[in-house]
Amino acid sequence: MSQNNVYTQEEGFSSSSFENFYTHFVQLTAQSGIRTSSKRESLLRALYSCESYLSAEEIYQVLHTEHHIRISLATIYKILTFFENLDVVSTVLTFPHKLKKYKLKRAVHHDHLLCLKCGTITRFYDATLEKIQEEILTTHHFKGTHHTLTLYGFCEKCQDE
């Protein structure tokens, strides 16, 4: 699924305004042949304006009552799943009603390579690695929030010297 690697080689969002955020989002997704849509933008905007987790229903309410945007719940679910595949949102399941809630990832996760000689830090992201870590969490009945992984070694330049 090509949707999975939109951010692979890219830096995360760190802009403070939604416009910057959205521009960045469009640039990245365009590379994968994904089209823009006003509904997706609205949904991103709703997520962007909220610091905590929102359910599909809550997003539906915000869009309808506050912004008078006509969008179906089914579409909201589709877009949220789409964002999840893009790794743009993180999710949690709530007790006791097992509602799934979504929150925007304002910065894209990445791991680090650190050179023990020159100290250079290189960022990287590997979807498979992330998936395996998720599976390990599941196997051990953990609910993960985040992680950091730093691979220590020597960079190409320092190996040569």
Which is nearer to a copy of itself, 24 or 103 (by Cβ)?
A: 103
19, 22, 72, 94, 104 from 63: Cα distances, Å? 18, 17, 10, 22, 16
Residue type, 44: L
Least distance (Å) from DNA to the CB of residue 139?
Answer: 18
x/- site string to DNA, residues 41 to 70, per CB under 7 A? --------------xxx------------x
Contacts with a copy of itself by CB under 8 A lie at 52-53, 92-95, 98, 100-101, 134, 138, 141, 143
Element (H, E) at 43: helix 38-48
- The helix/strand count (H/E) of the chain reads as 6, 6
Q: Does 78 bind DNA (CB under 7 A)?
A: yes
Q: How many residues bind DNA (CB under 7 A)?
A: 26
Element (H, E) at 107: none
x/- site string to DNA, residues 100 to 139, per CB under 7 A? x---------------------------------------
Is 31 within 8 Å of 24 (Cβ atoms)? no
Least distance (Å) from DNA to the CB of residue 52?
Answer: 16
